[in-house]
Amino acid sequence: MSNRSEGIDLPTSLGYLLKEASSALRAAMEDVLRPLGMTITHYSCLELLAQRPGLSNSELARGAFVTRQSMNVLLQTLERDGFVTRSAPVGKALPTELTASGRESLAAASAAVRDVERRMVGDLSVADQTHAFTLLRSMIDALRGADRDEKARATHTSKGGATIVRPDTPQ
What pLDDT score was predicted for residue 28?
A: 98
Domains in the chain and their CATH numbers? 12-123 (1.10.10.10), 126-171 (no CATH)
pLDDT of residue 67 exceeding 60, the answer is: yes
Residue (of 49, 10, 36) closest to 116 by Cα position: 36
Rounded distance between C-alpha atoms, residue 127 and residue 133, angstroms: 10
What pLDDT score was predicted for residue 167?
A: 42
Rounded distance between C-alpha atoms, residue 151 and residue 153, angstroms: 5
Lowest mean pLDDT among 4-13, 86-95, 105-114, 155-164: 155-164
> pTM higher than 0.85, yes or no?
no
Percent of the chain scoring above 90 in pLDDT: 68
What pLDDT score was predicted for residue 86?
A: 87
Q: Which residues, in sequence order, are bridge partners of residue 164?
A: 157
- For the chain, the straight-line distance linking the first and the last C-alpha, in angstroms and rounded, comes to 42
Report the 10 Å Cβ neighbour count for 13: 13
Q: Kindly report, residue by residue over 73-85, the tens digit of the pLDDT.
A: 999 999 999 999 9
H or E segment to which residue 138 belongs: helix 126-155
pLDDT of residue 124 exceeding 60, the answer is: yes
| Averaged pLDDT for residues 22-37 | 97
What pLDDT score was predicted for residue 146?
A: 66
Quick check: helix, strand or coil at residue 35?
helix
pLDDT of residue 140 exceeding 70, the answer is: yes
pLDDT of residue 56 exceeding 60, the answer is: yes
pLDDT of residue 149 exceeding 80, the answer is: no
- Name the packing angle between helices 100-121 and 14-33 (round to 10°): 140
pLDDT of residue 1 exceeding 90, the answer is: no
